[in-house]
Amino acid sequence: MKAILIEGVAGSGKTTYITKLAKSLVSTKPALLLTFSRTGRDVLKSYLEKEGLKHHHVMTIDGLANSLLTRLGSKQFLLKEEYVLKNILPCLYKLSVDQLYYSGYLSENNIEIHASNLTSLKALMHDMRFYRAAAVDKYDSNPDIIYDLIGGNLTHNAMVVRRVLSNYDGFRTTWLPDDHDLLIQEDGLYGELDDYWDVEHGFRLPTDIVHDLVELLKDNPIEELIDTYPLIAIDEYHDTNPKQFEFLRLLSTRTNNFVAVGDKFQNIFEWRGSNTEVLFESFLTEFKSECTYLNHSYRYGQNLSAKAGNVISRPIVPMVEHETEIEKFNPKKTSKEVTTVISKDYVQSMMAQFYMFTETKKKSNTPLYYSMGVALISLLFFMRYPYNVPKRHFLEKLLPSHFRTLIDLPFCFLDEDTKEEIYKSIATKNKPFVAVLNLLQSHVNCYFYDSDVYDKRFVEGFKRFFDEDLKDKKMYEVMSEFENLTQLFRMASNALLGHQIGWASWVGLKEDAYSRDYTFGSWPDQLDVFKRRYSEGKGMDFLTVTEAKGREFEQAILFGVDSECNKFRGEASNLGRNQFYIAITRVKKNLFYIDCPDEYIFDKNGYQDLHNHMRVGSLDRISEENGPTKNIALSELRTISKNIKDKNIKFDLNPLEHLIK
């Protein structure tokens, strides 16, 4: 077998290379052409169709693996992650924690356990994906190797993730839906129910597909499943993970020409289990492969070629006639045609949205009025000055969403079932505004006073704002004081991404308040501004590097870089280098960059130091103290909901008058 590894830079025509290989085949048999993503698959198909090459088999790696599972008679329900997250994972997590607790493992190793809430369960799902994709299960008998492999990529303890995965695999093999109608109603299934008429039991997630196939291929030789191909080529090889490599190694026996095409500097998925250095070296050694480099670009000009080449320490030769201009973003001069802003990650993207809101008059595709920062200020205003909310104001429609934001904070220790009941109570269609206010009153009165449902520092800080008149006070001062009293900055040092994004929205709003110098009392007017600046489909697109990957733009804005646009601010890691390299090489003609103030740069380590210095108690441990100890509020909430439904309730003129005690 002849194997070739093609290392090409961004814009070098890597997909075109595979197309030319397929076109050069003498054999009439189809080639097998694999991609990592569906986007990559569709792009490769379009390239082949332009050349009149429609007979080749083009699939994603997961798509091929799934078809082989069906041939092996291992078809199962293919569930969506959200359904498993909501209906299956909470019970498995509790079972796993109980097992580790009663075995003494948690206490012996001083392991912290995250609360079972939506945010931490999402992090657990991420951890399970990483553990599986990195093929860590091969080293279950050697914990030291496991810790070397996972590094700092998990939120939950590795042994907890391992136990949950073990229980998960055991559970899903015999699973059957209790209620098929509910499964369809909650959109938990890929495809239609009729597609699964021949499934007796069991489910898998898309991220389980390759794992399940590799396990079955231990007893089922792959040569009995698929024929030989004159060419097997893998595009986007830099994004594949160690588990997929196990499958590709088996697949390589079905061809005499095995080709992988990728760019090791475009790997940003190490969090998902991909380790490009290891994968590229493994390809060279496992298959005794040749290596060819494509160091030219058909996308961007000399300026950007030189900058990108400096980033990856490899010369890039531009093959286009146009130049790519690189200049600092100027809100007053930069063309209105620039509609894309690229940031390093989701946290910085939130910062970018508020920066552009403050510094420009451009509209956005993203409604900032749903962000955590806006929600908290709205709730403060609701509870402090309910009379000052104009009738039928936009703020009324936001209250249910903002109420939900409050109970999703890491400072709220309600169990998920109680939260879900509150969600349903406040989200009922056409429920009067004043009715939702009464539910908020019930919640705050019973849970903020004489209860362990909320973090005490957060509650005490919250209540302090009922001691003075805030209407004429500058919003920046109100937010700064609230932040210090509640130690809201603890959200930044929280391990969960959703809370970090929430903190970023708070910082962005505070900077806007400082720059535009408005008062707390003017908040309804400020919300009107947020509403006017949202324009779905017509405003600016805010993309992370991950979202921009695989795309190209005539012009774009890069947010959060240093003064010379040589890297993302505060980044010295290989991942940060790769993110910056991908971001700049998306642009063909005009790259604008924003070297923003320090306040807009998220520094988790800095917030962690502040958190540790001022810590008054852990937010992350499950304990008796943090659990809800009173059912009064939930009972009152149910009573109010029933009365509202029966239309028997008499609303107060000021439904929140009892908040000030």
Q: Which residues are annotated as a binding site?
A: 8-15
Contacts of 107 (CB under 8 A, 6+ apart): 101
Here the tokens at position 506 are: 């708070």
DSSP-derived pairing of the beta strands 325-328 and 587-594: parallel
Answer yes or no: are the C-beta atoms of 564 and 397 closer than 8 Å. Answer: no
Here the tokens at position 241 are: 């993970």
- Of 199, 274, 248, nearest to 64 by C-alpha is 248
Contacts of 420 (CB under 8 A, 6+ apart): none
CA angle 614, 615, 620 (to 5 degrees): 150
Q: If phi over 0 gives left and psi between -120 and 50 gives alpha, with beta otherwise, what is residue 560? A: left
Contacts of 133 (CB under 8 A, 6+ apart): 207, 241, 242, 243, 244, 272, 273, 274
Q: Which amino acid is at 38?
A: R
Indicate the DSSP class of residue 271: G
Answer yes or no: are the C-beta atoms of 125 and 89 closer than 8 Å. Answer: yes
Here the tokens at position 386 are: 């309910």
Answer yes or no: are the C-beta atoms of 416 and 117 closer than 8 Å. Answer: yes
**Rounded (to 5) percent helix, strand, coil in the chain:** 55, 10, 35
| Cα–Cα dist 621/613, whole Å | 18
List, as one string, the DSSP characters of 70-107: HHTT---EEB-HHHHHHHTHHHHHHHHHHHHHHTTHHH
In DSSP terms, 35 is beta-bridged to 60
Contacts of 640 (CB under 8 A, 6+ apart): 435, 438, 439, 442, 649
Instruction: Reduce the DSSP state of residue 133 to 3 states and report it.
Output: helix
Answer yes or no: are the C-beta atoms of 45 and 52 closer than 8 Å. Answer: no
| Cα–Cα dist 428/424, whole Å | 6
- Of 266, 258, 281, 269, nearest to 12 by C-alpha is 266
Indicate the DSSP class of residue 30: P
Instruction: Reduce the DSSP state of residue 571 to 3 states and report it.
Output: coil
Secondary structure element (H or E) that encloses residue 259, with its range: strand 257-262
In DSSP terms, 290 is beta-bridged to 4
CA angle 154, 158, 163 (to 5 degrees): 125
| Cα–Cα dist 75/81, whole Å | 18
Instruction: Reduce the DSSP state of residue 561 to 3 states and report it.
Output: strand
In DSSP terms, 584 is beta-bridged to none
Binding site listing for ATP: 8-15
473 by Cβ neighbours in 10 Å (0-12 / 13-18 / 19+) ranks as: middle
Answer yes or no: are the C-beta atoms of 215 and 169 closer than 8 Å. Answer: no
